[in-house]
């Protein structure tokens, strides 16, 4: 699937070497990361009344699910998706909240296999931006029914995303 909304490869923030190095430096693939973040994913799912809550790290070729609540099936087994399928890549590229109220009609994702094959219909993601200015991925919720997101819900997600970043950066080796 071609990403018609991607910047030219040499300008794509998803491919930024410094961003990818920060992900590696923070050791976000360590097994304990799920333990320090999964309660936040569960809380987001519960507070917004959606079946899925996730902390996703956007790599150059894949999206890695660092922590989640409600993810099952092949995505849970693979611990992620190809980067071309990742809604979270838009939060990383644009460095702003990415909201999809109805994926069936949203121009950026309507042809995405997560929509057409897996039934994803709504999504709200907050970019996880470190103190060094790198967008690691997204703190997000998703569901199988179209819905809108109230500003109060987005504020809840932003607060939980800020706590996720605080916990992630607390793992940083002192320099």
The tally of domains found in the chain comes to: 1
Residue-level pLDDT at 3: 56
Pairing of strands 52-58, 62-69: antiparallel
Q: Is residue 52 part of a domain?
A: yes
pLDDT in tens, 105-114: 999 999 999 9
Query: Does residue 5 sit within a domain?
Result: no
Residue 104: give the domain boundaries. 12-169
The reported pLDDT for the residue numbered 6 is: 57
Q: For the stretch 46-62, what's the b/e string if a residue is b when 16 or more beta carbons lie within 10 angstroms of its beta carbon?
A: ebbebebbbbbbbbeeb
Q: Is 1 within a domain?
A: no
Task: Give me the CATH number covering residue 106.
Answer: 3.30.450.40
Least confident of 32-36, 95-99, 124-128: 32-36
Residue 149, number of CB atoms within 10 A of its CB: 19
Q: What is the pLDDT of residue 168?
A: 96
The structure's pTM equals 0.91
Two tokens at 164? 């996720």
Nearest residue to 169 (alpha-carbon basis) of 22, 63, 31? 22
Q: Is 98 helix (H, G, I), strand (E, B) or coil?
A: strand
Domain assignment present for 6 = no
């Amino acid at each position: 699937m071609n990403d018609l909304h991607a910047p030219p490869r040499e300008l794509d923030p998803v491919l930024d070497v410094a961003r990818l190095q920060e992900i590696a430096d923070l050791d976000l693939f360590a097994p304990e990361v799920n333990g320090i973040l999964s309660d936040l994913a569960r809380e987001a799912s519960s507070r917004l009344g959606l079946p899925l809550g996730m902390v996703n790290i956007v790599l150059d070729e894949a999206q890695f699910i660092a922590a989640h609540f409600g993810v099952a099936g092949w995505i849970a087994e693979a611990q992620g998706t190809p980067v071309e399928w990742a809604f979270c890549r838009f939060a990383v590229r644009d460095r702003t909240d990415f909201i999809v109220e109805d994926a069936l009609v949203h121009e950026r994702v309507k042809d995405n296999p997560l929509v057409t094959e897996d039934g994803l219909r709504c999504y709200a993601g907050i970019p996880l931006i470190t103190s060094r200015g790198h967008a690691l991925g997204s703190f997000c919720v998703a569901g199988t029914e179209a819905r809108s997101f109230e500003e109060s819900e987005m504020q809840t997600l932003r607060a939980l995303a800020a706590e996720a970043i605080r916990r992630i950066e607390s793992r940083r080796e002192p320099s």
